[in-house]
Every structure is written in C-alpha cells, then in structure tokens.
Amino acid sequence: MVFGAGSLCVLLATGPLAVIAVRALLGIGGAMILPTTLSMIRTLFLDPKERATALGLWGAVAATSAALGPIVGGGLLATAVLVHRLVPREFDVTAHDHP
C-alpha cells in the first residue's frame, strides 16, 4: 500500500526535493514488502524441501533484480535523454514558450 501510494505520488512531484521525499516513501514501502514476502513463504510452504526451493527462488529473483535494476534504470534514463534531444522543439509539449 505504501509503495503503491509512493509510486503514484511521484507523478505529483514538482521539484527535486519532492522527488527525494517520494523516493524515501518508496524506500519505506520497499522495506515493508521484504519481511512480508518472507513470512508468506514460511506460511505457504510447510514442507521443508518446498520452503527451501521457494526461498532459493526468492533469493535468486532478489539478487537478479538488484543487479539488473541500476542497468535497466540507466538505460531508460539514457533513452529518455536521447528522445528529448531528438524531438524537435515545435513538437515538445513541455516547452514553455508556446503562443
């Protein structure tokens, strides 16, 4: 709930301080998700072998996302910067000098 609300609040951020505040909210939400998923695994998988498999998959997904997250984020940011530079100014809806 907190993570979802933070994700929506970033749309309303008007400056760098607001973005930083929303990112802090997302961090709190993410910190709340982590123990919840682990407790769900413990509750849902009663067989020790199944639980070990589920925890192994959980760890693999967490490690993969931690490794790929910054790379994908950097690629998205680079693409956004490239698109912003390639779009002619007359088609830029964010330009402030429209008549």
For residue 31, being part of any structural domain is answered with yes
Query: Is residue 99 included in any domain, yes or no?
Result: no
pLDDT tens-digit readout, 65-96 = 999 999 998 888 888 777 777 666 665 556 56
Domain total in the chain: 1
Kindly state whether residue 95 falls inside one of the protein's structural domains.
Answer: no
Any domain includes 44: yes
Q: What percent of the chain has pLDDT over 70?
A: 85
- The answer to whether residue 96 is domain-embedded is no
Decide if pLDDT at 99 tops 60: no
Instruction: Establish if 94 belongs to a structural domain.
Output: no
Contact indicator for 2, 28 with CB cutoff of 8 Å: yes
Range of 9's domain?
Answer: 2-89
What pLDDT is recorded for position 60? 97
What is the rounded distance in angstroms from the CA atom of residue 43 to the CA atom of residue 11? 36
Whether residue 68 lies inside any domain: the answer is: yes
The whole-number pLDDT of residue 76 equals 85
Name the more confident of 19 and 64.
64
